[in-house]
């Protein structure tokens, strides 16, 4: 007798995380390794978050607040939205999963870009949905192309703005037009994981303003990037009360742990840290642009904390050679790598090693 697995899961691949920095150190006998592979905040996180976490350590025996009451209230106050329209999660990752479980049924079509955040496609397949993939144009979302793919079977559309891994964005005008033309029985999920890094004025800075007009819209945000709390696993989602109520029915009772809750609340109260993260990112971005231009390497203009670069050589090879020299980046495909913007010192080291391997 053999165990049966759901057929939808058979062809899925487990997420392959990069090697931990300690393993890379040991393997190549290095004293120091820098990781510019996962779009983390090189400054760490707010001191206020650290203090809040310290203070909460004496309550580890108590279950977290399953309603994330204080976190929701802090978000509600800061962004002027009702607590019933907010749902925190264990990172956006968990929310991608929960949204797919809430909406996608066998045979439903789900429109997404390629290349974009990979969890959109894997959770779609997991639910038996049919991914309808629209290639990027010039490394950016092709919303016109996505619109053309809408059929009677379309259930959900994933948008990532700015996009991971290309760092590119689409404008408020483009989003306005898109939301207007999508039938309102199709769910549009708008993932703005990198919103805090955007510099351009024509970016939809306040996506929340769309919620009253578009009851089919879901907005996802995370504390893993500009807030520097990736290890805690915490993000939040904003949508109509009806959508939030339904997602709430399928989530685990204590999905956001206590340290994540207090850390996130404190992070929301530290605008100075957020500003510094933005400034350091901008400085690093300008420096890396200059170097890539000098090296004649093409890159996509980034509105995030990472840059998508054509290194003109096999990305996998460049990744291995950089790793041997203590710098971890992410090979994407072909000759394209994604490098996260680090501290200035990390950026300089990356450039030194990149010059060497090129
Ligand atoms: C576009 C996008 N969405 C969601 C996530 C997941 O973030 P989290 O750490 O909140 O799960 C990431 C992480 O890299 C991302 O790039």
- Indicate if the pLDDT at residue 18 is higher than 80: no
193 Cα: distance to centroid of ligand 1 (angstroms): 6
On whether the CB atoms of residues 275 and 335 are closer than 8 A, the answer is no
Best CA proximity match to 295, nearest among 245, 354, 353: 354
Q: How confident is the model at residue 298 (pLDDT cuts 50, 70, 90)?
A: very high
How does pLDDT run across 47-65, given as a tens digit for each residue?
999 999 999 999 999 999 9
Provide, rounded to the nearest whole percent, the portion of the chain with pLDDT above 70.
100
11 against 234, higher pLDDT: 234
- State in words which class domain 7-44+272-357 has: alpha beta
Instruction: Answer whether the bond into residue 115 is a cis peptide, omega within 30°.
Output: yes
For residue 228, what are its two tokens? 């520097």
Binding site membership of 193 for ligand 1 (Cβ less than 6 Å): yes
Q: Which two tokens stand for residue 285?
A: 């971005």
Mean pLDDT computed over 59-87: 98
Expressed in angstroms, the distance from the first to the final Cα of the chain is 54
Is 191 close to ligand 1, i.e. is its CB under 6 Å away?
A: yes
Give me the pLDDT at residue 97, please.
98
Alpha-carbon distance of 357 to 316, in angstroms, equals: 12
CB–CB of 328/322 below 8 Å? yes
Q: What is the DSSP code (8-state) at residue 223?
A: S
- Provide the pLDDT for residue 216: 98
Burial (0-12, 13-18, 19+ Cβ within 10 Å), 354: buried
Q: Is the CB of 92 under 6 A from ligand 1?
A: yes
Tokens of 149: 């793919």
Q: Provide the pLDDT confidence category of residue 15 given band limits of 50, 70 and 90.
A: confident
Q: What is the pLDDT of residues 236-277, one digit of tens each?
A: 999 999 999 999 999 999 999 999 999 999 999 999 999 999
Phi, then psi, of 191 in degrees rounded to 5: -95, 110
Asked if pLDDT for residue 334 goes beyond 90, the answer is yes
Residue 317, both tokens: 């090879």
Q: How far is the CA of 93 from the centre of ligand 1 (A)?
A: 6
Check residue 16 and give its pLDDT.
82
Residue 224 Cβ contacting ligand 1 at under 6 Å: yes
Q: Report whether residue 118 contacts ligand 1, using a CB cutoff of 6 Å.
A: no
Measured in angstroms, how far is the CA atom of residue 326 from the centroid of ligand 1?
Answer: 25
Residue 11 has a pLDDT of: 87
Are 82 and 241 in contact by the 8 Å Cβ rule? The answer is: yes
Atom of ligand 1 nearest to the CA of 224: 9
Q: What pLDDT score was predicted for residue 221?
A: 98
Q: Which atom of ligand 1 is nearest to the CA of 96?
A: 4
Q: Is the CB of 130 under 6 A from ligand 1?
A: no
102 close to ligand 1 (CB < 6 Angstrom): no
Q: How do residues 143-176 score in pLDDT, each as one tens digit?
A: 999 999 999 999 999 999 999 999 999 999 999 9
Which two three-digit tokens encode residue 196? Answer: 């805090």
**Using CA positions, which residue lies closest to atom 3 of ligand 1?**
193
Which residues on neighbouring strands pair with residue 238, listed in sequence order? 86, 219
Distance CA 351, CA 346 (A): 9
- Which residues, in sequence order, are bridge partners of residue 353? none
Q: Which pLDDT belongs to residue 20?
A: 86
CA of 96 to the centre of ligand 1 (A): 9
Q: Is 339 in the pocket of ligand 1 (CB under 6 A)?
A: no
Please name the residue that has the structure tokens 């904003």: 238
**What is the Cα–Cα distance from 132 to 52, expressed in whole angstroms?**
43
Mean of all residue pLDDT scores within the chain = 97
Q: Looking at ligand 1, which atom is closest to the CA of residue 117?
A: 1
Mean pLDDT, residues 41-45 taken together: 98
pLDDT digits (tens, 9 = 90+) for 302-320: 999 999 999 999 999 999 9
Flag whether pLDDT at 325 surpasses 90: yes
Take atom 4 of ligand 1 and give the residue whose Cα is closest: 92
pLDDT at 74: 98
Report the residue among 41, 116, 161, 224 best suited for mutation to probe ligand 1: largest number of ligand atoms under 8 A from its CB: 224
Residue pLDDT, tens place only, 108-135 = 999 999 999 999 999 999 999 999 999 9
Q: pLDDT band for position 17 (50/70/90)?
A: confident
Domain ranges within the chain, ordered by starting residue: 7-44+272-357, 58-268
CA 275 → CA 207, 226, 303, 343, distances in Å? 20, 9, 15, 15
The answer to whether residues 300 and 308 touch, using CB atoms and an 8 Å cutoff, is yes
Residue 83 pLDDT greater than 80, yes or no: yes
Q: For position 107, what pLDDT does the model report?
A: 97
Annotation: CATH topology of 58-268: 3.40.640
The pLDDT value recorded for residue 314 is: 98
Strand-pairing partners, residue 87, are: 237
């Amino acid at each position: 007798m053999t165990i049966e697995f759901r057929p939808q899961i058979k062809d899925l691949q487990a997420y392959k995380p990069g090697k931990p920095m300690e393993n890379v150190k040991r393997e190549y006998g290095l004293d120091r390794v820098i990781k510019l592979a996962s779009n983390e905040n090189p400054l760490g996180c707010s001191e206020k978050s650290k203090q809040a976490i310290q203070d909460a350590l004496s309550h580890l025996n108590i279950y977290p607040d399953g309603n994330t009451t204080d976190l929701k209230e802090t978000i509600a106050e800061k962004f002027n939205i009702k607590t019933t329209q907010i749902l925190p999660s264990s990172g956006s990752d968990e929310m991608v999963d929960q949204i797919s479980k809430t909406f996608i049924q066998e045979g439903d079509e789900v429109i997404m870009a390629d290349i974009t955040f990979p969890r959109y496609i894997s959770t779609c397949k997991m639910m038996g949905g049919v991914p309808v993939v629209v290639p990027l144009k010039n490394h950016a979302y092709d919303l016109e192309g996505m619109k053309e793919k809408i059929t009677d079977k379309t259930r959900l559309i994933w948008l990532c703005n700015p996009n991971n891994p290309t760092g590119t964005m689409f404008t408020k005008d483009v989003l306005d037009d898109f939301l207007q033309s999508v039938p309102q029985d199709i769910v549009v999920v708008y993932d703005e994981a990198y919103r805090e890094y955007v510099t351009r004025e024509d970016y939809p800075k306040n996506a929340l303003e769309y919620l009253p007009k578009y009851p089919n819209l879901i907005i996802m945000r995370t504390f893993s990037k500009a807030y520097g709390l990736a290890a805690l696993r915490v993000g939040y989602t904003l949508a109509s009360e009806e959508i939030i109520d339904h997602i709430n029915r399928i989530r685990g009772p204590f999905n956001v742990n206590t340290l994540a809750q207090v850390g996130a609340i404190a992070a929301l109260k530290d605008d100075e840290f957020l500003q510094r993260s933005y400034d350091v990112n901008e400085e690093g971005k300008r420096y890396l642009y200059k170097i890539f231009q000098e090296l004649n390497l093409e890159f996509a203009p980034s509105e995030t904390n990472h840059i998508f670069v054509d290194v003109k050589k096999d990305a996998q090879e460049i990744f291995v050679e950089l790793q041997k020299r203590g710098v971890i980046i992410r090979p994407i495909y072909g000759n394209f790598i994604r490098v996260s913007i680090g501290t200035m010192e990390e950026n300089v080291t990356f450039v030194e090693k990149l010059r060497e391997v090129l």
